[in-house]
Structures are given as C-alpha cells and as structure tokens.
Amino acid sequence: MKSTVLARMQLKEILRQPMAWGVLFLLPLGLVAFLVYGLENLMKSESLLPPFDVAIVDEDDTVETNLLIQQFQEDEELEELITFRHVNESDAQDLLTENKVSAILTIPDGFTKGIRIGENKPVLVIGNEQRPIQSALFHEMMKSAADLVSAAQSGVNTIYEFKNREGSAGSAEINASIKEFTLFAFGREKMFEKEEIESFSGVTPLKYYSTSGLILLLCLTGLLTMGITMSSNERIDERLQTFGVSSAAQVGSHFFTHFTILLAQTGILISCFFLFTNLEVTGQLGWGLLTLGATIAVISAWYALLSSLPLHEVMRSFTGLIFLVLFAACGSLIFPQAYYTGILEWINLGTLSHWSHTGLLHSIFDSNKEILYPSLLVMLGMIGLFLFTAYVFRQVKHR
C-alpha cells in the first residue's frame, strides 16, 4: 500500500514538469519515426548483409578460367549476394579506390598450366578495408572454391602420372584427357552448398526490428524517467526513511512509477508501429499481452535496481546508458541470436532484452510455446532478482 502511495506522489511530481511530457512521450514518438524511416530498407530485406560487387581480373585468359568465371557469374546462390564484374587490372583498382567493389579476385597468368603440371598458382584476393564484412565473407568463399581447384588439380596429376607411366599415349592425348577432366570439375552445376538459417527467428525483418524498436524505446524511457526523478528522489527517500518507511516500500514505489509510465508509453508506441507499418498480430493476442506486461515489468524492475545503487546521479545515469548500449548490441535487438558465438552468446543470454525480444516474437507473431514459456520464466526470475537486489542495496545504503 505504501508503495502505491509513494508511486502516485512520484508520478504527480513528474507530470508537473512540462519538460517531462516532452521527454517521456514526444521524444519517443520522434524516435519511432526515425527508426521506421532509417530501417526501412533493412526491414524489407531478408538478409543483414546487402548485396555487393566483386571485380574479377583474369590474367590467364584460358578456356578453363573463362569457364570458371562464367560459373561464378551464373551461380544462382551467389547472384543473390554478389555481382561479379569482369574487368582489367587498372579498372579493378579504380573500382576498389572508389569503394565500388568489396574485393578484387585476380587469376594469375599460368594458372591453368599450373594445374596441369602440379604447380601451385594461387589466385589473389584483395579486400576493401572500407567493407570489412563483405571482404571477409568473400575471402571465405574463395577458400571454399580453392578446395574445388585442389580437387581438380589432384585428378589432373593422377591422369598425368598414369599416362606417363603407362607410356601408351602421346602428349596430345594426355592434354586432351587433362582438359576433359578439368572442364568436368569446373563445370559442375553447383560450386557452393546452401544452408538456410532462420536469422530472424522465423519472422519477417519488419516484425523483428519493430519488436527491437519497442524494447529499445521502453528501455530509453525507463532511463529518462530515472533521470527525471533522481534528484527529487534522493531528498524524498531521506525523509521517508526518518518516518519509518521501509526499503521495500521505496523499491516498490520506484517499480510502480516506472511500470505506470512504461505502460502508458507502450500503448502509444504500439499504436504508432501498427499505424505506420503493415504489422499484424499473427500469434495469440492473450499471450502477447501477458508477455508485453512481463517485458514492462522486467524493465521497470531493472530501473528500480539502478535507482537503488549507491552511486552519484551522474554515475548512475552513465551506468544505465552503458547497459542500454549493451542491451542493444548484445541482446538480440540489432543482431539475431544466430550471429552471436562464444562468449557473446552467453552475454546475449544474460540480457533482459534478449528474453523480452524472444518472448514477444513468439507470442505476438509466432505462437511458439516451447520458446515462449522459458522466456516468461526467465523474465519472472529476473524481476525477482532485480527487486531483491535493489532492496539489499537500499538496506545497506540506509545503515
């Protein structure tokens, strides 16, 4: 009871400030418009990596290398991501300097002859430092293609050695056999195997990043709310302590204050997302509302914990900002879970944004109970942990 009374006092204090209305409600609306405009192309795309160009320089210019280049250019899987531009060395360097290609692939002179006689003539890949992700990806693709060339070269060497030892065929027949085998190896229908990974948890990028935007804006609002109430809360808390108001009541008041403001803003933000985009609820509305409530609660509990830290106002705000960046970068809001590996995977699983995001996706848009239930349980556990830790900090601070 005392918690709700204190929360009403804090809300009245906030709503008396005209600046608070603009910061808590008008600013997020502007951010929604910015996110929808800025992420429009990404939301329409099915991939986090946009298509890019690669320049090919063929210094060998043989039937085999022309066939290899043709295979690159006509591969259906590669066409979705890479456009190969067959140019000379000078043009390739100009394109790289002008940042119009992500890499240059140079096939050296004598490449085909090297395959026939067992001499290693590796292709040269020059990456564009202005496009490190595309360059690294293409380099890995070329490592895969090198395995194909090595396999062809091994077969050619076998034919060459066999014909020489047999001594029953002339050089013309050896060359014909080598050429036939090389063309067969290079002329396969598929150079790369395709494995599809559901990067966006089985939903469209629009649904994925709309959910990310909602969580990010709620976290930002919680940080702004904490900043607005921080200076007055310090004085109020000292008075309340002298009148015997418990630490639990103070933690509860901070929780209810954040929860009320975030709940009001959630209604505004969701209305904007559905108004300005073509989003539809394709999951179960009841579970979606429950998960949304849990999301608001866990964010409110987090800022109730931050409000209880024995830190200066500036340091407390700075700490909140650092964690906000962490939630965005490492909590599935920008990059899907499939892109996190090693220690980043564990950091991702430890963020409230990951579980909130996962829960909302699989309740509002997907109805996957096997993923939804664990998400709700983890969020409930985080709520309890945050509130208990906030209580402990307040007890220590008031001793």
d(CA 269, CA 275): 10
pLDDT value of position 201: 61
Position 196 in a domain: no
Confidence check: pLDDT of 43 > 60: no
pLDDT value of position 214: 86
- Do 154 and 258 lie in one domain? The reply is no
Give the tens place of pLDDT for each residue, 155-197.
666 666 666 666 655 566 656 665 665 555 555 445 445 555 4
- Do 86 and 8 lie in one domain? The reply is no
The total number of structural domains that make up the chain: 2
Give the tens place of pLDDT for each residue, 260-274.
888 888 888 887 777
Give the tens place of pLDDT for each residue, 209-253.
888 888 988 888 888 878 777 655 555 555 555 555 677 877 888
pLDDT value of position 254: 81
- Do 244 and 350 lie in one domain? The reply is yes
Position 335 in a domain: yes
- Do 138 and 212 lie in one domain? The reply is no
Mean pLDDT in residue range 357-361: 91
Answer whether 325's CB lies under 8 Å from 347's CB.
no
Position 195 in a domain: no
Position 193 in a domain: no
- Do 245 and 279 lie in one domain? The reply is yes
pLDDT value of position 345: 87
Mean pLDDT in residue range 384-397: 88
End-to-end Cα separation, the chain, in angstroms: 24
Higher-confidence residue: 149 or 296? 296
Position 194 in a domain: no
Position 191 in a domain: no
pLDDT value of position 149: 60
Position 65 in a domain: yes
One-letter identity of residue 156:
V
pLDDT value of position 189: 47
- Do 181 and 228 lie in one domain? The reply is no
- Do 128 and 211 lie in one domain? The reply is no
* 216 token code pair: 């990010």
Give the tens place of pLDDT for each residue, 284-310.
888 989 999 999 999 999 999 998 888
Last residue of a domain, one of 186, 217, 242: 186
Last residue of a domain, one of 186, 215, 244: 186
Mean pLDDT in residue range 309-335: 87
Which domain CATH number covers 57?
A: 3.40.1710
- Do 382 and 265 lie in one domain? The reply is yes
Last residue of a domain, one of 186, 213, 242: 186
Position 192 in a domain: no
Query: Considering just the CA atoms, what is the radius of gyration of the chain in Å?
Result: 30
Q: What percent of the chain has pLDDT over 90?
A: 14
Higher-confidence residue: 221 or 203? 221
- Do 41 and 86 lie in one domain? The reply is no
Host domain of residue 232: 2-45+201-397
* 127 token code pair: 């990456």
Higher-confidence residue: 338 or 239? 338
Higher-confidence residue: 122 or 221? 221
- Do 258 and 322 lie in one domain? The reply is yes
Helices (H), 277-368: 285-308, 313-330, 343-349, 352-360
Higher-confidence residue: 67 or 364? 364
- Do 267 and 339 lie in one domain? The reply is yes
d(CA 179, CA 158): 13
Higher-confidence residue: 277 or 240? 277
In Å, what is the CA distance from 167 to each residue of 39, 53, 146, 163, 181?
A: 67, 48, 31, 6, 19
Give the tens place of pLDDT for each residue, 47-101.
556 678 888 898 888 877 787 777 777 776 677 778 888 888 888 888 888 888 8
In Å, what is the CA distance from 220 to each residue of 206, 275, 300?
A: 21, 22, 11
Mean pLDDT of the chain: 76
- Do 275 and 241 lie in one domain? The reply is yes
